[in-house]
C-alpha cells in the first residue's frame, strides 16, 4: 500500500469521525416528545423514593427500587448540553468532500437533521452539486 493510499484512508477516517460526531450531537439535541427531565428533577424524584422506601410494602418497594435504579442510570447519562460550535466547524470542513466521495446529497443531509445554513457553509447546495 502506497503512502498516498494510506494518507487517503486516514483522511477518510477523520472525515467520517467528524461527520459522525456532528450527527450524533444533532441527534442528542433533537427535541423529544414529552417533558424533558433535568438532573434536578431526577434528584428530586430520587429523594421522594428514598423517603418512601422504609414505609413501603414489599411490592411497592420492589417497584421503587427499580425506579431508583433507572433514575440513577439516567442521571449518570445526563451530560451538559453539547456545544455544537466546534463540532459544526469540523463538519463544515469535511462535509463537502465526504458528500462527494460517498455520494450523499442535500436531501439526505437535511433528513439527518443538518440545517440548510450549515450545508451552505459546507458548500453543499440543493442542486446536489457542491459549489
Question: Would you list the domain boundaries of the chain?
Answer: 1-34+82-131, 38-77
Locate 28 and state its grid cell.
442528542
Which pLDDT score, from 0 to 100, does residue 83 have?
72
Which pLDDT score, from 0 to 100, does residue 29 have?
74
Q: Please, what are the averages of pLDDT over each run of 10 residues along the chain (131 residues)?
A: 88 92 84 74 94 95 96 78 82 94 93 93 78 51
Spell out the residues 6+ positions from residue 112 whose beta carbon is closer than 8 angstroms to its own.
23, 26
Cβ distance 64 to 56 under 8 Å? yes
3-state secondary structure of 58: helix
Residue whose C-alpha cell reads 428530586 in the numeric block: 44
Which pLDDT score, from 0 to 100, does residue 58 have?
94
- Residue 66's alpha-carbon distances to 1, 24, 49, 52, 73, in angstroms, are 54, 29, 10, 13, 11
List the one residue out of 12, 38, 9 whose CA is nearest residue 102: 12
DSSP labels, 64-91: HHHHHHHHHHHHHH--PPP-HHHHHHHH
pTM of full prediction above 0.75: no
CA–CA distance, 119 with 105 (Å, rounded to integer): 10
Amino acid at each position: 500500500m502506497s503512502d498516498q493510499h494510506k494518507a487517503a484512508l486516514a483522511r477518510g477516517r477523520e472525515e467520517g469521525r467528524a461527520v459522525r460526531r456532528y450527527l450524533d450531537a444533532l441527534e442528542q439535541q433533537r427535541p423529544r416528545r414529552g417533558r424533558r427531565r433535568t438532573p434536578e428533577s431526577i434528584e428530586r424524584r430520587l429523594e421522594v423514593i428514598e423517603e418512601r422506601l422504609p414505609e413501603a410494602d414489599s411490592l411497592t418497594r420492589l417497584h421503587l427500587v427499580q425506579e431508583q435504579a433507572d433514575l440513577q442510570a439516567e442521571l449518570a447519562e445526563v451530560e451538559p448540553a453539547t456545544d455544537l460550535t466546534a463540532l459544526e466547524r469540523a463538519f463544515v470542513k469535511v462535509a463537502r468532500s465526504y458528500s462527494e466521495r460517498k455520494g450523499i446529497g442535500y436531501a439526505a443531509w437535511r433528513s439527518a437533521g443538518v440545517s440548510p445554513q450549515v450545508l451552505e457553509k459546507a458548500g453543499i447546495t440543493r442542486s446536489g452539486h457542491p459549489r
